[in-house]
């Protein structure tokens, strides 16, 4: 498995987003957003400083190139590049009284969703008349902090995972902005804030991330009980056709990406990505690890020579082995992976994902 690892300082990275042509990456780090040029090598271009508390999420719109950021200061900003190459921020009227936790552009780039600790999701859109970004709130039945938002391919339905152990699907339909969507397995008539699906984590764990499959006909979410759940709805107001839960012996997963309709990659506190495969008929299983620490351990064991060598080390240095190696993990990431994103696709399947972590690294994994 080949990979590219870029160590960009030691400050944790909360979220990242690549531009459509991969020439730039935006990193949400501390109270700023760092923009790096990636060609010919990673070099800091500028830092966007408009927030005065920790920036929790960043997203670059693939077509327009607009950047949206949100922060614990309860604000979201939309950044546009001006003709001289500088970034100009526009404040968004979120109307929330707790930290903003996550943000994502809709696929058609007309709106974005911001999750928050105020038990609301703000669906934000641009009001031409007043020349500013305004928001409508999805409130019920959210009972706790929203940790993730993810749009359906039709730009109307929105999946949200929250700390009340629920993954939910809402309608984010805005009159006058959206055209009426085609019927889906989630529903037909979809006025704003319609609850189209509500699924509970089997063991009551926080839902760290929830995402629609590429077709939008299935939903996967990862929870703090170290499991992943895949839901197949059967139609509006019908019970789901299948709910498949895979428990793992790993530490909890924080982020997931669908590679295709039958493959998901997820990563989190174990510091390396895991690939799951399956379908609604066959169920889902943990298939393999990317950057598997056990492989590294085997290699390390091969290099570490015999017990005799260990005694020799103890005799010379008073320690069984050099203490410098003790602290490093046998994985590329040296701390929790905070975010996975699709990076490259071929023939409709994601072949590369990008990851960022608390260790300040950006890594591109072949999957």
State mean pLDDT over 214-230. Answer: 97
Query: How many CB atoms within 10 Å of residue 44?
Result: 12
Beta-sheet strands, E only, within 315-360: 337-346, 349-357
Judged against a pLDDT cut of 80, whether residue 210 lies above it is answered with: yes
pLDDT of residue 326: 59
pLDDT of residue 293: 84
Task: Report the alpha-carbon distance of residue 63 to residue 8 in Å, rounded.
Answer: 26
Q: What is the pLDDT of residues 159-199, one digit of tens each?
A: 999 999 999 999 999 999 999 999 999 999 899 999 999 99
pLDDT of residue 315: 72
User: Of all helices (H) and strands (E), which one includes residue 91?
Assistant: strand 87-92
User: Which of 327, 341, 334 lies closest to 357, judged by CA?
Assistant: 334
Q: What is the pLDDT of residues 228-240, one digit of tens each?
A: 999 999 988 889 9
Judged against a pLDDT cut of 80, whether residue 249 lies above it is answered with: yes
Q: Encoding tokens for residue 252?
A: 């909890």
Q: How confident is the model at residue 327 (pLDDT cuts 50, 70, 90)?
A: confident
pLDDT of residue 365: 97
Three-state DSSP class for 219? strand
CB 71 within 8 A of CB 93: no
Whole-prediction pTM = 0.90
Sorted by where each begins, the domain ranges of the chain are: 3-291+333-366
Q: How confident is the model at residue 299 (pLDDT cuts 50, 70, 90)?
A: low
Judged against a pLDDT cut of 80, whether residue 313 lies above it is answered with: no
Weakest mean pLDDT among 198-202, 312-316, 335-339: 312-316
Give me the percent of the chain exceeding a pLDDT of 70.
Answer: 92
Three-state DSSP class for 298? helix
CA–CA distance from 344 to each of 5, 273, 301, 350 (Å)? Answer: 16, 16, 34, 6
- Can you give the C-alpha Rg of the chain in angstroms? 22
Give me the percent of the chain exceeding a pLDDT of 90.
Answer: 83
Q: Encoding tokens for residue 159?
A: 């999946």
Three-state DSSP class for 348? coil
Q: How confident is the model at residue 300 (pLDDT cuts 50, 70, 90)?
A: low
Assign domain 3-291+333-366 to its CATH superfamily: YVTN repeat-like/Quinoprotein amine dehydrogenase (2.130.10.10)
Q: How confident is the model at residue 357 (pLDDT cuts 50, 70, 90)?
A: very high
Task: Report the alpha-carbon distance of residue 173 to residue 157 in Å, rounded.
Answer: 7
What average pLDDT is seen over the chain? Answer: 92
Q: What is the pLDDT of residues 93-147, one digit of tens each?
A: 999 999 999 999 999 999 999 999 999 999 999 998 888 899 999 999 999 999 9
Judged against a pLDDT cut of 60, whether residue 323 lies above it is answered with: no
Query: How many CB atoms within 10 Å of residue 238?
Result: 9
Q: How confident is the model at residue 85 (pLDDT cuts 50, 70, 90)?
A: confident
Chain centroid to Cα 271, Å, comes to 14
Point out which residues pair with 132 in neighbouring strands.
Answer: 127
User: Which of 218, 160, 210, 152 lies closest to 182, judged by CA?
Assistant: 152
pLDDT of residue 235: 86
Judged against a pLDDT cut of 70, whether residue 262 lies above it is answered with: yes
């Amino acid at each position: 498995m080949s990979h590219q690892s870029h160590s960009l300082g030691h400050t944790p990275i909360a979220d990242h987003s690549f531009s459509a042509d991969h020439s730039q990456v935006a990193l949400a780090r501390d109270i700023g957003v760092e923009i790096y040029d990636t060609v010919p090598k990673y070099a800091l271009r500028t830092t966007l400083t408009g927030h005065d508390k920790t920036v929790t999420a960043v997203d670059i719109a693939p077509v327009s190139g607009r950047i949206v950021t949100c922060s614990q200061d309860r604000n979201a900003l939309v950044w546009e590049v001006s003709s001289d190459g500088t970034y100009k921020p526009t404040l968004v009227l979120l109307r929330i009284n707790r930290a903003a936790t996550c943000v994502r552009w809709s696929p058609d780039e007309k709106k974005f969703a911001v999750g928050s600790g105020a038990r609301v999701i703000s669906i934000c859109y641009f009001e031409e008349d007043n020349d500013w970004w305004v928001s409508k709130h999805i409130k019920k039945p959210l009972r706790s902090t929203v940790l993730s938002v993810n749009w359906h391919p039709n730009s109307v339905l929105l999946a949200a995972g929250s700390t009340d152990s629920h993954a939910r699907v809402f309608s984010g339909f805005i009159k006058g902005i959206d055209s009426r969507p085609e019927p889906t397995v989630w529903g037909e008539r979809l006025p704003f804030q319609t609850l189209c699906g509500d699924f509970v984590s089997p063991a009551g764990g926080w839902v760290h991330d929830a995402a629609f499959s590429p077709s939008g006909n299935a939903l996967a979410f990862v929870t703090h009980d170290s499991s992943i759940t895949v839901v197949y709805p059967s139609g509006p107001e019908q019970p789901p056709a299948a709910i498949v839960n895979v428990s793992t012996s790993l530490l909890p997963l924080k982020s997931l990406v669908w590679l295709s309709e039958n493959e998901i990659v997820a990563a989190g506190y174990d510091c390396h990505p895991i690939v799951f495969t399956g379908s609604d008929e066959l169920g889902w299983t943990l298939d393999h690890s990317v950057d598997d620490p056990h492989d590294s351990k085997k290699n390390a064991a091969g290099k570490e020579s015999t017990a005799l060598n260990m005694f020799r080390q103890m005799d010379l240095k008073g320690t069984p082995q050099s203490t410098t190696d003790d602290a490093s993990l046998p994985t590329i990431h040296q701390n929790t992976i905070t975010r996975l994103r699709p990076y490259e696709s071929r023939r409709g399947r994601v072949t590369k994902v990008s990851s960022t972590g608390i260790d300040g690294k950006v890594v591109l994994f072949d999957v």
